[in-house]
Amino acid sequence: MSVLDGIGVVGAGGEGRAVAAWLAARDLPVHLYTRDPGAVGEMVRRRKIVASGTLAGRFPLRAVTGDPADLAGRAVVLVATVTTAYPEVAARLAPYLSAGQVVVLFSSKLCGSVEFAHALAGAGAPDVDVVETDALFAARPCGTGGVTVLGTKGWNLVSGSTVVAVERHAGLLREWFPMLEVARNPVERGLHDFGAVAHVPIALANLGAIDRAEELLFYVEGVSSRTIALLERTEAEFAAVAQAYGARLLPMTEVLDRYYGCPATTLLDALRTVKPYRTIAAPTSLDHRFLTEDIRSTLVPLQALARCAGVATPMVDAAITIMSVLSGEDFRRTGRTLRRLAWDGLGHDGILRRLGAGRREAERAA
């Protein structure tokens, strides 16, 4: 199987469209799959995607389809859907995957590749490699034929469900996305996620305005020197969990600088200088994916991993509890549990053993 057989992109939201445009701009044969072809009607008719912003042009697509069977035989399948849909997406793709293919997750959150690989196995898929990175683009859909790319991250990490998956595919992914570096393990990759650190604390600090659906620039008007303390405490808990699992978390000021080139000494100053963040509006409901995805797919597994390691996470615990009460949903039950990672019952030492090979791979790559 070769990339000449086509590259599948699953998902036609902002990230999926940006990924498709990025690859098509490099003359790669892209097959875009979405469960709602009507939402990309212009792309279906023209077999092109129109990009504007920091990535601009009209780029050909090999196919735009709602039939997952079109993904069979594609050497690489890139998944750019919401992370909470991973079990459903895995079940939909499983009948059409074959040995030798690789699934690449964008915006996988914490240990998304581990969850996806377990879901594929449960759905009867053959043993395919699963690797992950973060969302690499700040992008928004534009009509049914295009995408507006507000910014492209200048740095991010790549990891996978197994060390073998990383060894096989990191080179190709870094060729397509030169900003990627190999993480020590999927915990390190998943915790380098500024949105997961920031979204829920900022939302809770602006609870009334969001609940009233008031207009609010999330990263500009939603933060102050006082509310930034919530982010800093949350970041400290992320760092403690990372350390407990053999990983190292860069300061979020440095992460933002690597993302978008905004050197600053404080997190508040960094937020105010990130150009793609200046126009991002706050969600108009606490039930917005902007918030619930981070809770289900990052905060819940982080809390479970912390408890296994004996690490206290009072900020994360409080965020999950408060949002569960406000939404009427028990996120500790509906989120990415250790059972969904097939890590339940392993304990701290057992999980470390699962992650150990990943650390060695990162050390070799470095």
- Distance in angstroms (rounded) separating the CA atoms of residues 281 and 218: 5
Q: Is the distance from CB of 245 to CB of 187 less than 8 angstroms? A: yes
Residues 6+ apart with CB under 8 A from 333: none
The pLDDT value recorded for residue 275 is: 87
Residue among 192, 155, 152, 136 nearest 276 (CA): 152
List the 102-106 sheet strands across, edge first: 63-65, 30-33, 7-10, 76-79, 102-106, 129-133, 156-160, 180-182
CA nearest to 188, candidates 309, 302, 319: 302
Mean pLDDT split into 10-residue runs, the chain, 366 residues: 85 97 97 96 97 98 96 95 96 95 96 98 95 96 97 97 94 97 97 96 96 94 93 97 96 95 89 88 90 97 98 98 96 97 96 72 44
Domains of the chain: 3-182 (3.40.50.720), 191-365 (1.10.1040.10)
